[in-house]
A and B are shown apart, each in its own frame.
Chain A
């Protein structure tokens, strides 16, 4: 054994001592000295989850407001805003639940309702929109619309109240002077509960042919031969009726 050791070159012996010291030092430090709170992954994950869960709640939730504010909740339950939660308009309310003298906000001017209801052509069709500059300027929105049951003061005469983008397109089209109801038959219920019953679309080629067929006497409408033009497809499958020959 001693003979074998002596055969190892002197520099290797010295190196090995240094390397051994380093390795032993590292292993001792890592596995013996350091506490598991620094090295245990499961501990870190659990403590992270606990820290997350302990964070403050700021929004209280949709149902809890009704426990004290039954009137407003009851009013809202069946109206157009039934799925808009209280905190959407009144802001976070957890602080108010913990200390009822801290009141949440209430928008009483014209600057909040427009976040949803100002006209934007990207909003889905059927969503009620107004032009805030022209629509009853200066008056606060809540003057005419109760936010908890926002029925408009009068049933809108124009479809543009909810279909503003389509109306806006049609205004600059050859069909500008044709009313929406000329082509779409609108059940009365549609204005009250829009999603329960939809207007119709023309179902025959002859419908458009009333103005655009060869036999029609409508002078300003371009004429085509219904028998041959466009095979058997419905007219609006190619021509966009809200702005024909342009889109």
Chain B
């Protein structure tokens, strides 16, 4: 018997208040399961932003289009990692593909993920970059030349007709991609929302709230990246683009806030049996992460900032500062949202009579360092992607061979 585990559980047992079922002392879905919906949320949100350009013809947002796609891809590639690290038997993960139990929302993960990766994201990126990749391959020498040729599947037709076809294909893929993105993140919400045993999770609204907060966080992430990368490239930030995206962010935050407020009011009003223990949870263990971080810092202050920006006339520099602050606060808030749902739902006993505690490991495969590492990794992947598939230079302008 693992002594360290027994020690940890004995410490947890000391901190239990009230009565919990004996098996409930350990929190099973740890910070990695908080990181996973956060990451897929960013994927869905970034893709929705990209779809604004294609399907809704919002031209002002064009400068961030390719960035949004690559961001979605970078985060999507890392998304399965927190799940793998969390499994008791990661070497058996392939069973989800071989013998999925079709009644389980989690079984859909493999197929939804692969569909979204291959039939939506990779395809759309391919069509978007095909012409540029062909041109770049012509301008390069050495290994990069072959990388570009391979990535473009050795295609060579860059006639106007072919390029027009590419654009039409992108539109079709985006139209398929929007519901696919909804399913990619919505099914995670459904995984929680369909657990009737847990009243904090079991709710019709959870998939919707997850989706809206995903859109909020995805848009905020693209704004953040755009505001960081553009000065690094030595370019000027396109304020028309930024103002437009932030508008969309504003609308998304309002919808998200409304839905969460609705869930809260509805719970209080119906006052079902679980309300007593949930009140204890929300006013005690989740006080800081819910009221301070998720609501005040993550929603109310950014909303106030954006309302101020919309109604008063601020100059460019102040607007940039305010936008940057808002998107960072929003990211914190959405991460806290995921934390409150996942960890919060496991902190109270299903007997409704007690609360346990979550002691996050620092090192260890499900620990804080792993979580931070998994959150940093997509940015590294994004850097590599941006080097291979630059988001702003078109093929004529690109100069020199990449290293």
A and B touch in the complex (CB under 8 A): yes
| Chain A residues proximal to chain B, CB less than 8 Å | 9-12, 14-15, 18, 22, 30, 34, 38-39, 41, 44
Residues of A within 8 A of B157 (CB): 9-11
Chain B 158-189 interface mask (CB, 8 Å, partner A; 1/0): 00011001100000000000000000000000
Query: Shortest CB–CB separation between residue A22 and chain B, in angstroms?
Result: 8
Kindly state whether residue B17 has any CB partner on chain A within 8 Å.
no
Do B153 and A15 have beta carbons less than 8 Å apart?
yes
Query: Shortest CB–CB separation between residue B121 and chain A, in angstroms?
Result: 14
Tally A-B pairs: CB < 8 A: 32
Kindly state whether residue B99 has any CB partner on chain A within 8 Å.
yes
Do A38 and B155 have beta carbons less than 8 Å apart?
no
Residues of B within 8 A of A15 (CB): 123, 126, 153
Pairs across A and B, CB under 8 Å, 16 listed: A9-B161, A11-B153, A11-B157, A11-B165, A12-B165, A14-B154, A14-B155, A15-B123, A15-B126, A15-B153, A18-B153, A22-B118, A30-B98, A34-B98, A38-B98, A39-B98
Query: Shortest CB–CB separation between residue A41 and chain B, in angstroms?
Result: 6
Query: Shortest CB–CB separation between residue A101 and chain B, in angstroms?
Result: 30
B118, B153, B161: the one within 8 Å of A14 (CB): B153
Roughly how many angstroms separate A14 CA and B161 CA in the complex, as a whole number? 16
B98, B123, B162: the one within 8 Å of A10 (CB): B162
In the complex, residue of chain A having the shortest beta-carbon distance to the beta carbon of B154: A14
Roughly how many angstroms separate A18 CA and B126 CA in the complex, as a whole number? 13
Query: Shortest CB–CB separation between residue B148 and chain A, in angstroms?
Result: 14
Roughly how many angstroms separate A52 CA and B12 CA in the complex, as a whole number? 32
Interface size on B, residues (CB 8 A): 16
Pairs A-B, 4 closest by C-beta atoms: A10-B157, A14-B153, A9-B165, A11-B155
Kindly state whether residue B319 has any CB partner on chain A within 8 Å.
no
Query: Shortest CB–CB separation between residue B171 and chain A, in angstroms?
Result: 15
Chain B 109-131 interface mask (CB, 8 Å, partner A; 1/0): 00000000010000100110010
Kindly state whether residue B351 has any CB partner on chain A within 8 Å.
no
Residues of A within 8 A of B99 (CB): 39, 41, 44
Residues of A within 8 A of B10 (CB): none
Roughly how many angstroms separate A41 CA and B162 CA in the complex, as a whole number? 48
Name, among B123, B130, B155, B162, the residue most crowded by chain A CB atoms within 10 Å (CB to CB).
Answer: B155
Query: Shortest CB–CB separation between residue A239 and chain B, in angstroms?
Result: 32
Residues of A within 8 A of B156 (CB): 10
In the complex, residue of chain B having the shortest beta-carbon distance to the beta carbon of A15: B153
Roughly how many angstroms separate A11 CA and B157 CA in the complex, as a whole number? 8
